Amino acid sequence: MEAVFLPEGVRALDQQLERAGLLELAMEEAGRAGADGVQSHFPMGRVLLLCGSGANGGDGLVAARHLYALGREVVVLAQPSKHPLTRSNRRRLRAIGGTVSPLTLPALGRELARADVVVDGLLGTGFVPPLRPALAELVTALNAAGRPVVALDLPSGLNAALAEVEGEPVRAQVTVTFSGPKPALLYGPAAHWAGKVEVAPLRVPQEWRLTHAAATRPVAAEVAALLPVRPADAHKGTAGRVWVVGGSEGMVGAPLLSGLAALRTGAGLVTLYSEAELPQKIPELMIQTRPDLAATFADWPQKQRPDALCLGMGLGPRAPKLARLLLPWNIGTVLDADALQPELAGLGHAECIWTPHPAEAARLLGVGTPDITRDPLAAAQALQRKFGGVVVLKGGPSTIATPEGLLVSRGGHAGMATAGMGDTLSGILAALLAGGLPAPQAALVGVTLHARAGEWAGRQHGYGLIASDVSAELGRAWQSLRDDLSLKE
């Protein structure tokens, strides 16, 4: 289980490490991981290390010592050290013959001309934006030189907590981040500056890491362990009955995509309910057309209710009324698209999943879309508190808010940025709910399957992949996720 950290979490963890007398060892491990990152990605040539005055600079000085010991040609330009461990690591570097020169613009210019790779140990989680002008000038010069950069913890000038970018941060090819990733390394546009992100968890007790984490990012095997296993004598009645309630004139494809995804995720019986005529394109789907869905469901006998509902895709303005009617059924319910309306605040129950994309999330919270995308963790949490149940704030990655905490998804493919992809996710989630997974687990498994199927489809179709390609790959995605579990066992 990987931990996602905000700066305050890193500070609290550092305090705990300091009390235990382990902070120095943690910096040693961090610096060594940084040096290993340089060695594995840029094994040849002269290394220029830029070190700030805080602990991030200390990591840089440790990295310099390891690289020097490995026989690399090393040049260190550093600001005056303020952190006690940064000071002691400066002394250690000097003790083995390394030199440290003051970090000035002329010195940087000279050394950049001769460097093959640069290590950015200027600022980490202690950075408080905006970047002061003297450092901003150095960062601009560094980026203009076009040398490959390995950033320690995060590229200097990025606010670790946020996905937004203010001013010009260091542009890194590789970022070696410590303890766990920070939101700025997970979500664009900030993450675009970090290059390839490698996590050096540091040998910190798992419990300490999780205590101070803002969110977690489960590894594939942890998600795979949640996949339901069906008995050999299963039949369509036990494999989960899903209803998709959606579609309206001109919007007839959305419920079909949800229905297809529900079938491909293993739902035994999938029925589409709509007030519009839906084309019978997928023979395995049962289609029920009703002139007034609210009247149809008002007196529906409890015994004939499905195992899970998927509501809102292309449904139009009737969606909130139907949501009010169907949420009290208290069965697994996915609310998407037109069913994502602020008037439904507080109506979520333990088995429901709201699936907004950022613009829908903004509508639900009454804020602008940039307020959502700059801080997806906070937005997902606010949505969960306001609407109840489980929230999947969609994106690449998606953020899942449950009453127990926040999760960040892995995987996906840029080709998934196409219409109908969210409808597909809704169908997957509904099938998992119908199969008996509790909503928090269904959200995590569903988002992971969707992303992985997108990866498989992306290999074949690239940016031209369409939503039904993702459904076609769901079986392979499921199987490959199970393989991750078997490999671990």
Ligand X SMILES: NC(=O)C1=CN([C@@H]2O[C@H](COP(=O)(O)OP(=O)(O)OC[C@H]3O[C@@H](n4cnc5c(N)ncnc54)[C@H](OP(=O)(O)O)[C@@H]3O)[C@@H](O)[C@H]2O)[C@@H](O)CC1
Is residue 396 a contact residue for ligand ADP (CB under 6 A)?
yes
| Residue 293: both structure tokens together | 């869905």
Residue 210 Cβ, how far from ligand X at the closest point, in Å?
13
Footprint on this chain of ligand X (rule: CB under 6 A):
10, 13-14, 26-27, 30, 52-59, 82-83, 123-132, 135, 152-153, 178-179
Q: Which stretch binds ligand ADP (CB under 6 A): 49-57, 145-153, 378-386, 395-403?
A: 395-403
Q: How far is the CB of 72 from ligand ADP (least distance, A)?
A: 37
| Closer residue to ligand X, CB minimum distance, 124 or 240 | 124
Return the number of the residue (132 or 303) whose C-beta is nearest ligand X.
132
Q: What is the nearest approach in angstroms of ligand ADP to the Cβ of residue 260?
A: 13
> Is 397 annotated as a binding-site member?
yes
8 A C-beta contact, residue 190 and residue 158: yes
421 binds ligand ADP (CB under 6 A): yes
Among 14, 423, 469, 473, binds ligand ADP (CB under 6 A): 423
Binding site partner of 398, from ligand ADP, ligand X, none, Cβ cut-off 5-8 A by kind = ligand ADP
Compute CA distances 195 → 10, 47, 362, whole Å.
22, 18, 29
Q: Which two tokens stand for residue 305?
A: 């209710």
What are the backbone angles phi and psi of residue 361, rounded to the nearest 5°? -60, -40
- Residue 189 counted as an annotated binding residue: no
Cβ atoms 310, 335 nearer than 8 A? no
**Residue 395 found at the interface with ligand ADP (CB under 6 A):** yes
Which CB sits closer to ligand X, 121 or 454?
121
- Is residue 155 annotated as involved in ligand binding? no
Question: What one-letter code names the amino acid at 78?
Answer: A
Nearer to ligand X, 58 or 348 (CB): 58
Pick out residues in 238-267 that bind ligand ADP (CB under 6 A): none
59 is in an annotated binding site: yes
Contact predicate 59/38, CB 8 Å: no
Note whether 425 binds ligand ADP by CB under 6 A.
Answer: yes
d(CA 309, CA 245): 7
95-99: long-range contacts, CB 8 A cutoff, minimum separation 24: 96/65, 96/68, 96/69, 97/68, 98/64, 98/65, 98/68, 98/74, 99/75
Annotated binding residue 253: no
Range 435-454, binding ligand ADP (CB under 6 A): 450-451
Chain CA centroid to CA 272, Å: 31
Please report, in angstroms and rounded to a whole number, the separation of the first and last CA atoms in the chain: 16
Known binding residue 484? Answer is no
Q: Which does 303 bind (CB under 5 to 8 A by kind): ligand X, ligand ADP, none?
A: none
Question: Cα dist. 369→12, 39, 94, 388, 390 in Å?
Answer: 31, 41, 50, 21, 20
Tell me: does residue 357 bind ligand ADP (CB under 6 A).
Answer: yes
Q: Is there a binding annotation on residue 233?
A: no
126 annotated as a binding-site residue? yes
Query: What contacts 139, CB < 8 A, 6 or more positions away?
Result: 122, 131, 156, 157, 168, 169, 170
CB 16 within 8 A of CB 212: yes
Residue from 50, 267, 390, 416 binding ligand ADP (CB under 6 A)? 416
Rg (CA), the chain: 26
Name the minimum Å distance from CB 250 to ligand ADP.
15
Return residues touching ligand ADP (CB under 6 A). Answer: 357, 394-396, 398, 412-414, 416-417, 419-423, 425, 450-451
State the binding site: 55-59, 120, 124-130, 153, 156, 254, 314, 357, 394-398, 422-423
